[in-house]
Amino acid sequence: MKRWVKWAVPVVVVVALIGGFVARALSARKQEQAALGTARAPAALELSPGDLLVLHPQPFARTLAVSGGLKAVNSAVVRAKVAAEVKSLTVREGDSVKAGQVIGQLDTTEVDWRLRQAEQNAASARGQLDIARRTLENNKALVAQGFISSTGLETSVSNEATANANYLAASAAVELARKARTDTQLLAPIAGIVSVRAAQPGERVAVDARLVEVVDLSRIELEAAIAPEDVGAVQVGQAATLQVDGLAAPAQAKVVRINPSTQAGTRAVMVYLELLPQPGLRQGLFARGAIELERKTALAVPASTVRVDQARPYVLAVVDGVVRQRGVTLGGRGSIAGSLERDSQVELAAGVDDGATLLRSTVGQVRDGTAVRLTAAATSPASAAAGR
């Protein structure tokens, strides 16, 4: 028993010493972490003037995005009206033509022979008609003298009517052959520019074969498909601004027609916008832009300012030097009249008031409650005007 006590006392002393050292080390570690935490305390986020946007009512145009291909209002296709060989075709793609201008010729050999045949048939029918008429006149005299019965006269009348009908049919065939002869000459139906040359001299073409296409670039339209839920706000006469591929300057247009029927399958409604004349417009170019539906005064911000990473859209407002999230109700999309900003604008219908200071998207993601430091330049009237 005494031996056990003799060994236990040193062990207890050693354990006590170790516990003291551990407690002292933990205390020192806590003090070090506290000091380190104090040293790493985040400073206020500094904002440049371009990071802030001050809300003010301003002219806002609610718009509807549209896109589609350009198409000439007036275009025409020259087709072969008779089956023949292409004798000549004097125009190529890019050539300008006038209405009624001769642009080609089909071979007339077969047509000439058909016309001659029709004229001979008409001459034969004319001779048969003359014989039938003389016979009818003679039979009328014989009936009056009692030499033949009235039945023979009726036969002569019927023969004369048949011969007359045959002559009229032959005469019509002559006119059709003459028209076919005229149709061998190819004429431009409208004034414009040749866009397609689909045949070459020496090629035999069938009836209604496509030979040349002419487009009039003086009137160009955009065909845009509009969703059924949006077409109700579109009206004839509304202005639009379009960006056409290949053109640096935007093109101005207006709504001229709205299709009364929807497209099969998509149920979209075709809306036609006529572009103002501008150099460089071509049929088939793709254009995108927006129709101005309504103009009013509203609180509007660039669309990128609104955060959508949560269930409800929100903006980051600066309130007393601290960032606060503000849920907002969005209105229509559009643009600011006279603004040079390319970012599309969105109306803030509710959630923020006039004069509120918001963070732009250039700041990135900032947590709610983050302290910010506003420089003098950022809060000056000049910067507020820049944020409008």
As a whole-number percent, the residues of the chain with pLDDT over 70 amount to 82
Query: Is residue 281 situated within a structural domain?
Result: yes
Please say which residue of 164, 183, 202 terminates a domain.
183
User: Structural domain of residue 313, as residue ranges?
Assistant: 45-57+299-387
Q: Which H or E run contains 219?
A: strand 210-226
Q: What's the CATH number where 49 sits?
A: 2.40.420.20
> What span, in angstroms and rounded, lies between the C-alpha atoms of 305 and 345?
9
Please say which residue of 295, 321, 355 terminates a domain.
295
Do 277 and 290 lie in one domain? The reply is: yes
Do 325 and 281 lie in one domain? The reply is: no
Query: Is residue 62 situated within a structural domain?
Result: no
pLDDT digits (tens, 9 = 90+) for 243-275: 999 888 889 999 999 999 988 888 899 999 999
Query: Is residue 33 situated within a structural domain?
Result: no
**Per-residue confidence (pLDDT) for residue 337, from 0 to 100:** 55
List the beta strands (DSSP E) in 136-209. 185-187, 192-197, 204-205
Please say which residue of 230, 260, 295 terminates a domain.
295
Query: Is residue 220 situated within a structural domain?
Result: yes
Domain total of the chain: 3
Query: Is residue 325 situated within a structural domain?
Result: yes
Do 328 and 362 lie in one domain? The reply is: yes
> What span, in angstroms and rounded, lies between the C-alpha atoms of 326 and 306?
10
pLDDT at 210 over 80: yes
**Per-residue confidence (pLDDT) for residue 143, from 0 to 100:** 75
Phi, psi for 184 (deg, rounded to 5): -70, -15
Q: What's the CATH number where 151 sits?
A: 1.10.287.470
pLDDT digits (tens, 9 = 90+) for 296-332: 777 878 878 888 877 888 888 888 878 888 888 887 7
**Per-residue confidence (pLDDT) for residue 193, from 0 to 100:** 94
Query: Is residue 101 situated within a structural domain?
Result: no
**Per-residue confidence (pLDDT) for residue 95, from 0 to 100:** 94
pLDDT digits (tens, 9 = 90+) for 338-355: 443 445 778 788 888 887
pTM of the model: 0.62
